Amino acid sequence: MSPIVMKFGGTSVADLERINHVADLVAKQAETSPGGVAVIVSAMAGQTNHLVSLATGAAGAGVVGENFDDEYDVIVSSGEQVTSGLLALALRKRGLKARSWLGWQMPMLTNDIHGKARIRDIDGEAFSQAVGSGEIAVVAGFQGRTKEDRITTLGRGGSDTSAVAVAAALHAERCDIYTDVDGVYTTDPRIVPKAQRIEKISYEEMLEMASLGAKVLQTRSVEMAMNHRVPIRVLSSFAEVGADNSGTLVCDEDEIMEKQVVSGIAYSRDEAKISLLGVSNHPGIAADIFSRLAEANVNVDMIVQADARGPEQANMVFTCTERDSELAISVLQDAKSKIGFESIVVDRDVAKVSVIGVGMRSHTGVAKTMFDALSAKGINIQVISTSEIKISVLIDSSYTELAVRALHTAYGLDAES
Ligand code: ASP
Ligand code: MG
Reference 229, options 265, 255, 266, 209; nearest CA is: 255
- CA–CA gap between residue 304 and residue 2 (Å, rounded): 49
Instruction: State the amino acid at position 227 in one-letter form.
Output: N
The residue contributing the CA closest to ligand 1 atom 9 is 156
Cβ–ligand 1 contact at 292 (below 6 Å): no
The residue contributing the CA closest to ligand 1 atom 5 is 157
Cβ–ligand 1 contact at 10 (below 6 Å): yes
What was the pLDDT predicted at 124? 86
- CA–CA gap between residue 417 and residue 411 (Å, rounded): 16
Q: Residues near 226 by Cβ (< 8 Å), separated by ≥ 6?
A: 203, 204, 207
Segment 99-140, tens digit of pLDDT: 999 999 999 999 999 999 999 999 889 999 999 999 999 999
Measure 178 CA to ligand 1 centroid, in angstroms.
Answer: 14
pLDDT above 70 covers a percentage of the chain that reads 98
Measure 217 CA to ligand 2 centroid, in angstroms.
Answer: 6
Cα angle vertex 194, ends 321, 178, to 5°? 70
- Residue 275 and residue 154 in one domain: no
> Domain end: 150, 180, 210, which one?
180
What was the pLDDT predicted at 210? 83
What was the pLDDT predicted at 64? 67
Mutate to test the pocket of ligand 1, among 13, 40, 42 (most ligand atoms within 8 A of CB): 42
On whether the CB atoms of residues 248 and 183 are closer than 8 A, the answer is yes
> Domain end: 126, 159, 180, which one?
180
Domain count, the chain: 2
> Domain end: 160, 180, 200, which one?
180
- Residue 176 and residue 298 in one domain: no
pLDDT exceeds 70 at position 213: no
Residue 346: domain span = 265-410
Cβ–ligand 1 contact at 197 (below 6 Å): no
Report the nearest atom of ligand 1 relative to the CA of 142: 5
Average pLDDT, the chain: 94
- Residue 165 and residue 18 in one domain: yes
Identify which ligand lies nearest to the alpha carbon of 178. Answer: 2
Task: Write down the pTM of the prediction.
Answer: 0.89
Segment 241-288, tens digit of pLDDT: 988 899 999 999 999 887 789 999 999 999 999 999 999 988 999 999
Q: Is residue 259 part of a domain?
A: no
The CATH number assigned to the domain holding 402 equals 3.30.2130.10
On whether the CB atoms of residues 23 and 124 are closer than 8 A, the answer is no
